[in-house]
Structure 1
Amino acid sequence: MPAPRGTTRGPSRGRPGDEPAHGSAHGPAYETLRDAATRGDRPAHDAGDDRPAGGSGDGGERRPEAAQVQRHSVRGQVLEALRAALAAGELVPGEVYSAPALGARFGVSATPVREAMQRLAVEGAVEVVPNRGFRVAERSAREVAELTEVRALLEVPVVLSLAQSLPAGRWAALRPLAEATVDAAACGDVGRYRAADRAFHRAVLSLTGNEQLVAVADDLHRRAQWPSHVSPVVRRGDLVADAADHTALLDALCAADLHTAESVVRRHFSGAK
């Protein structure tokens, strides 16, 4: 899988494996930021510019608070785009990426990219490399296993509790989200699959009405999706099997088959992608 432009070490080496799922080096993360820049969402001024914050072409000055809102908007979009690139495998573990090069690729200045990367460094997704940029963290097998275990400890009992209290109609409403994961898996699109997977799990947990639970579980889920040398190739068959668990779980819940539901949800986390 080629690394996106912006890495200081060039494309990653090919990895063995048949029928891997794919993530594009010019994937949705980059398109999102390019579209935002085209709409004019990029900031008029940031700390990396020598130009004053300007007007809109008619000689008027942009209000400071409006420029600040725009800057926060772009920073947030860059952060989400980088998170999507990580999940899709567009940013490779061990590779070093510079903020100016990624900013040029995204169509924004280096400053919001640098700020977003600093946030990802706090989260543990990347490491700061002085005078070079940011290296995508290389996670150990133990870290991957621990994240999966914590997710299971949170989500499995919640799903089983909901299974005993919610009517079948509430579960049926989640069918489109489950089918979105099936469609993405069939295409072998890792980035789209992982976004759809998180959306499905968020929707399930949202049925508790506990916003803090949803936020914590989603953060764990996002971290679990970061790239890893432990499983360098995500195979389409693995995604298909993972997505099939979503529909099988809904089938069991809609039929009030608690035994099958428990079996499916435990199996799902034992092989979470």
Structure 2
Amino acid sequence: MKQGVQGSAGMRAARVPAQQRPAGAEAPVRSRDAVVPGTVRGEHTSGEHLHDEPPHDEPPHGERPVPGPRAAVRRSSVRGQILDALRTALVTGELRPGEVYSAPALGERFGVSATPVREAMQQLTLEGTVEVVPNRGFRVVRRGARELAELAEVRALIEVPVILRLARTVPAERWAALRPLAEETVRAAACGCPATYGEADRAFHRALLALAGNEQLVRIAEDLHRRSQWPPVRAGRPGRAGLVADAAEHLALLDALSAGDCDVVRGLVAGHFAGAG
């Protein structure tokens, strides 16, 4: 993602080399009075200034502008939306491993300035998904089979003991309450979209672990889970078939948890992590 912040006043659509744009992306055609297609909600509409620019309206003479929370909230919202969009682009393969992308080029793609893109990319850097390339932007890292296997092992070390403890202590009706989330993963898997499935998958696992009542556990486990979902490869489980198999394991796991069958739970969870689901 490119660096360099461009303001909306006088911002010109830069000619971005095709190899620096996400696959299939085109620079948006801007008009003065229209919302740019693909624009992040609440950003760069007619009459609005970009969050990193001063407003065009001046306060009355002699009065000092009163700072308020709106700008900070809006900035956070835009950054969060861009982060979600970038994560989706990574999972779907729109942003390719080994390629370098710049914040201004991606800002053009999303219809925002470079600043929220750069902030989102810094978060992805912390997650190990991209790396900074000085004076160029951000390179999508290549994550190999060994790293994915290590992530799966760490997830298993953290989550398996917790889930087994829950299997012995949580009543059956609590597990039944998670069934709609498990069924949602089945529907998401059927559509074959890794990004859609990834969201449903994380929601199920997050709700399951939340029964332990440990917020730090849930936060750490979800970070590991997100990392393990990218790139969207599953050993021996290509494409939609892999997603469908993972989703089916959610339902089987709930059945075993409801029955309190710890041996079956242990085998299902271990196999689930081995499949990076």
Query: Shorter-chain TM-score: what band?
Result: 0.7 to 0.9
C-alpha change, 1:201 and 1:230, in structure 2 (3 Å) is closer
The 1:236–1:70 alpha-carbon spacing in structure 2 relative to 1, beyond 3 Å, is: same
- CA separation of 1:221 and 1:251: change in aligned 2, threshold 3 A: same
CA deviation digits over 1:102-126, x for unaligned, max 9?
Answer: 1122121111101111222232211
What is the match of residue 259 of structure 1? 263
Question: Match for 1:134: what amino acid?
Answer: F
1:1-273 residue pairs with structure 2 within 5 A? 8-9=19-20, 34-37=40-43, 44-46=50-52, 49=53, 52-55=54-57, 63=67, 65-227=69-231, 234-273=238-277
* Identical counterparts, % of pairs: 60
RMSD between aligned alpha carbons?
Answer: 3.2
Instruction: Return closer, same or farther for 1:10/1:74 CA change in 2, 3 Å cut-off.
Output: closer
Structure 2 residue matching 1:35: 3-state secondary structure:
coil
Q: CA deviation at 1:7?
A: 6.4
- Paired with 1:272 and 1:149, the residues of 2 have a C-alpha distance of 10
| Farther off after superposition, 69-78 or 209-218 | 69-78
| TM-score, with length taken from structure 2 | 0.78
Moved more, 94-103 or 164-173: 94-103
Q: 1:162: how far off?
A: 0.2
Q: Which has the larger radius of gyration?
A: 2
What is the CA-CA distance between 1:65 and the residue it aligns to? 4.0
- Specify whether residues 11 and 202 from structure 1 end up closer, same or farther in structure 2 by C-alpha distance, changes over 3 A only: closer
User: Shift of residue 54 of structure 1?
Assistant: 3.5
Query: Which digits, 9 at most, give the CA deviation of each residue in 1:233-273, with x for residues without a partner?
Result: 94111111111000011112223333322221121112124
Task: Mark the CA change 1:216 to 1:106 in structure 2 (over 3 Å): closer, same or farther.
Answer: same
| 1:146-172 CA-partner distances (Å, limit 9, x unpaired) | 111000111111111100000000000
Please state whether the residue corresponding to 1:169 is helix, strand or coil.
helix
**TM-score normalized with structure 1 length:** 0.79
Mapped partners of 2:180, 2:18: distance in 1: 37
Larger CA deviation: 197-206 vs 246-255: 246-255
User: In the alignment, is the contact (CA less than 8 A) between 1:33 and 1:81 conserved in 2?
Assistant: no
- Provide the C-alpha distance between the structure 2 equivalents of 1:203 and 1:79, rounded to a whole number of angstroms: 22
Contact conserved, 2:40 with 2:82, CA < 8 A, in 1?
no
